[in-house]
Structure 1
């Protein structure tokens, strides 16, 4: 998926979500904490949001994160590098399922990237499993160091962080919505 594909997919999902709810950019800005100007730029494909901004939008509009990357056929989930987060790539392993209320990602951090994630909606729980490298998961003031095969479950409705201790770390993240 190219940077242009990412912008287009995100723009289409944001616009469709607002239209389904008959929601103005002003109202979307209030719900997401993302400025009206930025939301407009995203919809016009003039700007690609950071991963943190995209999570704020998903949480505020009560939509799944993976819905921003669904292909037209719904099953092509390649690794997505973000233009504004070049040291982080995400691959949707399982898109959001309305029955299980879950989605699963494989996340790759390079160059000892430190990703700060805003709080998700109340009740969201993440399950993180490190595949390779060493990851510091920072949550509620505590650092949880995870090596290959190690896991941690936490409530993601507060700000949290992922920090690559090694040059590259790959981990799986299962997000469960209430």
Structure 2
């Protein structure tokens, strides 16, 4: 059975909200995403941006890949979140409870910049540049990485990525959720 990408994310959001016994209003307060937008996402009427989906995951204290479970369970694992011009994200390894990690492949269009709000305390990101060159933002400063370059940082602060070339840039993003993060869904 095939499932629409937006519907799959919406189903996971509704499940998370139901499991926490949160109204749309309460979910909105925890995620910083409007009640109307959350409702549209749940109904599959709106495709969340990567940034918005991160806000939702952070507010629910969930790993990002939680929202891709229904997609991958329905043979759409090659699907990418392409809801924003300039960035796509695909899951390489879904969240693993034992290692408390997940791995994504991000592709940035030429000269695209992506800023991420702080994640929950204890979230650590590692990035490995696979193709092209990027810069990453930490402490309001951009730092350069070429192909093969790596970095590890605490993601509980504003951070970002930008492609500084005229060609696409691809990097793997390994996200660790330390024991400070409690997953309730």
Question: Shared fold (TM-score greater than 0.5)?
Answer: yes
Alignment root-mean-square deviation, CA: 1.7
CA–CA distance in 1 between the matches of 2:97 and 2:136?
Answer: 27
Matched, 1:170 2:185: no
Counterparts in 2 of 1:94-109, with a 5 A limit? Answer: 94-109=93-108
2:91 match? 92
2:152 match? 153
Residues 72 and 106 of structure 1, relative CA distance in 2, 3 Å threshold: closer
The size of the alignment, in residue pairs, is 175
Matched, 1:139 2:138: yes
Residue 74 (structure 1) shift:
7.1
2:182 match? none
1:114 match? 113
Residue 73 (structure 1) shift:
2.8
1:16-37 CA-partner distances (Å, limit 9, x unpaired): 0011111111110111111111
CA–CA distance in 2 between the matches of 1:100 and 1:79?
Answer: 24
Q: Which runs of 4+ in 1 moved over 3 A?
A: none
1:119-151 CA-partner distances (Å, limit 9, x unpaired): 111110000010110100011112111101110
TM-score (norm 1): 0.92
**SS in structure 2 of the partner of residue 143 of structure 1:** strand
Structure 1 residue runs of 5 or longer lacking an equivalent are none
Contact 2:103 2:174 in 1 (8 A): yes
Residues 79 and 47 of structure 1, relative CA distance in 2, 3 Å threshold: closer
Residues 32 and 82 of structure 1, relative CA distance in 2, 3 Å threshold: same
1:5-63 CA-partner distances (Å, limit 9, x unpaired): 22111100000001111111111011111111111111112211111010000000011
Structure 2 residue runs of 5 or longer lacking an equivalent are 179-185
CA–CA distance in 1 between the matches of 2:36 and 2:85?
Answer: 23
Residue 76 (structure 1) shift:
5.2
